[in-house]
Amino acid sequence: MIRLFAAIDMPENIRDDISEIYEAIPGARWTPENQLHLTLRFIGDVNEDAAQLIDNSLKTVKFAPFTMRLQSVGFFPPRKEPRVLWCGIAKNENLIRLQKHVERAVVLAGLPPAERKFSPHITVARLNGSPPQKLAGFMSANSLFKTEPFLVPEFCLYSSVLKRDGALHIKEAGYTLFEEC
């Protein structure tokens, strides 16, 4: 079995912008800079045959490159003990449309539709019992977080290997977005 997800990688300068807001928060495990991404569709565990069908289906996604920007910080879940810190995405209809194309391709490959509504974000830290006052300080200090717009030229298929200190993401395939779409 292979654990898969489709995602947009962050350019190096955007990863640098994100890692600049990292700070010492007890119980926070920060996402390594080289693993920062925006998940378009978590696929989960599939066998090799299903993985090949998914790859073939994702190759059929036709979409033009577009720009997007990160804006804001927050946490999940909103009304319970925070478990994830995230950077948000400025409103972007192209991103929403691309995600729908990816979702359709995954369903056409034989998987059930995603159970959760798409909530575009970059996970920057996983939390375990982090003090509320530290999180409030982080949120306040970064309330105006925003990056420059950046180009999204492709999306990727990743495998994810769970390890004791977090997941290791391995790029399995890239799908270039073309202007003529």
Catalytic residues: 37, 121
- Residue 5 three-state SS: strand
Task: Tell me the torsion sign for CA atoms 68, 70, 72, 77.
Answer: positive
Closest CA to 30 of 102, 94, 124: 124
Q: What is the DSSP-derived secondary structure letter of residue 32?
A: P
- Residue 179 three-state SS: coil
| Tokens representing residue 140 in the block | 């306040």
Residue 139: its H or E element: helix 132-141
